[in-house]
Amino acid sequence: MPPSMSCLSNLEHLLLKDCQSLSSLPTSIDQPLEKLQLLHLSGTKLLEIPEQFFQGMVKLKDLNLSLNPGLRSLPTSTFNLVELKKFNLEGCSGLQTHCLKHFPLSLEELNLSRCDSLKDIKLDSSSFPNLRILDLGFTSVKLISYFPSSLEELNLSRCYSLQDIKLESSSFPNLRILDLRFTPVKLISLKSFSSLENIILDSNENLEVVDLCDTKIRKFPLEDAGVLERLARIDLLGVKHLGKVNWEKVHSLPQQVNLDQCGDGNIPHMVIPFSEWLRDGKESAQSLISLRNGVFFQTLKQSHPCIQNMQRFFVYVCPCAARGKYKTSHPQQDGCSYKHIYSSIKPSYPSYERCMVIERVDRFPRGLGGVLGHAQLLSLHDEEVVTRLSDFGIENFGELIECWIERCQAMEVLFDIGANELEEYQPVLRCLENLRISNLKKMSKMCISSGVLKDGSFGRLKHLQLEYCPQLVNVFSSGVHLESLEILEIKFCARLKEVFAAKVNEERCLQRLHTLCLWELPVLSTIIQNVQLVSLKKLKVRGCPKLRKLPLHQISNINQSNFGGAVVVTGEPEWWELLQWEASNIKQHVCFNSSEPFKLPKHL
């Protein structure tokens, strides 16, 4: 450097980047560069820096000595750079660990990436009280310890000697961003890092477990992470800030995903006991995904390999503020309580591999179609915003086996199937076996369509249970055969006049129906017209005073050799005496059991 440097006392910025011929610096400068704020000496041939070179540079804020591989040490005068905020030593591969003790206390950003000689780095808060950003990428660091509590961003990408990262949250109260790209760690445990917003994982081929519970993580950690073949589990409990995921950038999911946007994953109040579901499966291959709305899955498509390969999942959707408020309610009608007779048959909790529960949503939970399309069990209850179940997309019910719809106060129709859906997605609900509908005060029809449903629509439905739907007029219209239906229970539907609206004896219609339960249907006059209920064995009737005919008119034509036995009818004696029979000999095939009508509480 020329001697005239001493004449530049007002110099603020000095850039000597890539000066390949620069191999030495003056031992001292006669007139200190007291106003110098930025000094770049990157990409030179420097082997050492004179001991007093930085003396007097009291205003220096940004020092760049990067890409000087021959530089092995730093002068003690570095410590006197009391205003230094940013220090870049990237690519100083010869720099030794002992040099770190010469760094000034004022440092906020420190880049030590590609400093290959650094092995064991200890940076405590007393030495770096203000350090916010630290880059240790491409170093041989083996141990992560004694980092300053002020640290906000930490880059550990391509630190190939690191095996595990298990840190105490109390040591990193301000850490927001952690970069671990291409770092072969097996375990990442950052539980309760309350400030952590983003962790960058890319091509971490050895990664097996990630724990980011109770963090402020905003971006899904597996976005842009490539294929992590060994990743077995990721824990994201209490991640209230996690939002929309770009699923096109997610290439793999572990078999165990524990995600809860609202809490710790403990949801004891659910209508389907989660603890029972857990016991039915293997802990290593089941996922709980608890969300406040559908935004998390908004861009997920049914065809995405991540959801296709997820063997066992339980997706729970409920606003955080509404969690824990579930309580079974009983319908009220005309000031009378049905609590003592309502839902007398306790529901079973079947075991399915893929379940979805939606409750108490305050707006329609859009974005769930991709995961719903693989669900076998759906429970929707205690909400006031969904008017049609089919608004979730008829195409997303293709694998649904069981469906529970309860206390949905805005529901007007279950399935409203338009012309486009009839053309593209027939047969509809082809896998559905069990349908339970309870306490839908506005539902007038179960299924309406713009055309004829193809064979196979509702073709596997075995058990249909309807309770307290006071506006329901009929259950199914003509065109739906329900050839697999075995059990039908209808209770407390005050306006139901006709169970099935079929007018002709359609082939295979209700051919397997063996149990029919009709309770408290005050205006019911017809079960079905002109259809043979050839398999009917049990008929339970209570509180249906207008029902005068039973669909048993074909029994007299059945040969005794093919007849499996008498139909057992249970009902009130007064109702039985008023029944009308198509033929005089039909009654001999019926076994009647008397039952008392429901008694209302005496205080009413």
CATH label of the domain that carries residue 402 = 3.80.10
Q: Is 89 a domain residue?
A: no
In three-state form (DSSP H/G/I as H, E/B as E, the rest C), the secondary structure along 274-289 is HHHHHHHCCHHHCEEE
Tell whether the model's pLDDT for residue 172 goes beyond 80. Answer: yes
Tokens of 481: 């055969």
Distance between CA atoms of 413 and 398, rounded to whole angstroms?
A: 19
- Give the C-alpha distances (Å, rounded to integers) separating 441 from 187, 421, 445, 471, 583: 51, 27, 11, 6, 39
Q: Of 27 and 309, which is predicted with more confidence? A: 309
Q: Quick one: pLDDT at residue 561?
A: 46
Q: Quick one: pLDDT at residue 495?
A: 96
Q: How confident is the model at residue 350 (pLDDT cuts 50, 70, 90)?
A: low
Q: Quick one: pLDDT at residue 31?
A: 76
- For residue 557, give every residue at least 6 positions away whose Cβ sits within 8 Å of its Cβ, in sequence order, or none: none
Question: Into how many domains does the chain fold?
Answer: 1
- For residue 196, give every residue at least 6 positions away whose Cβ sits within 8 Å of its Cβ, in sequence order, or none: 175, 176, 177, 178, 190, 212, 215, 216, 217
Tell whether the model's pLDDT for residue 546 goes beyond 90. Answer: yes
Q: Quick one: pLDDT at residue 335?
A: 41
Q: Is 336 a domain residue?
A: no
Q: Quick one: pLDDT at residue 333?
A: 45
H or E element in which residue 464 lies: strand 463-467
Q: Is 197 left (phi over 0), alpha (psi -120 to 50) or beta?
A: alpha
Q: Is 313 a domain residue?
A: no
Q: Which of 418-422, 423-427, 494-498, 503-507 has the lowest mean pLDDT?
A: 503-507
Distance between CA atoms of 49 and 1, rounded to whole angstroms?
A: 13
Omega before 601 cis (within 30°)? no
Please give the mean pLDDT across all residues of the chain: 86
- For residue 316, give every residue at least 6 positions away whose Cβ sits within 8 Å of its Cβ, in sequence order, or none: 267, 270, 274, 288, 289, 290, 291, 356, 357
Q: Is 441 a domain residue?
A: yes
Q: Of 129 and 561, which is predicted with more confidence? A: 129
Tokens of 290: 């608890």
Range of the domain at 428: 364-594
Q: Is 459 a domain residue?
A: yes
Q: Is 43 a domain residue?
A: no
Query: Quick check: 468 and 497 in contact, CB under 8 A?
Result: no
Segment 178-232, tens digit of pLDDT: 999 999 888 998 999 999 999 999 888 899 999 999 999 999 999 999 989 999 9
β strands within 219-335, DSSP E: 233-237, 256-260, 287-291, 313-317, 332-333
Q: Is 321 a domain residue?
A: no
pTM for this prediction: 0.86
Segment 384-411, tens digit of pLDDT: 999 999 999 999 999 999 999 999 999 9
Q: Quick one: pLDDT at residue 330?
A: 45
The distance from CA 594 to its chain's CA centroid, rounded to whole angstroms, is: 51
Q: Which of 156-165, 213-222, 394-403, 513-522 has the lowest mean pLDDT?
A: 156-165
Q: Quick one: pLDDT at residue 599?
A: 65
Q: Is 524 a domain residue?
A: yes
**Would you call 542 helix, strand, or coil by DSSP?**
strand
Q: How confident is the model at residue 378 (pLDDT cuts 50, 70, 90)?
A: very high
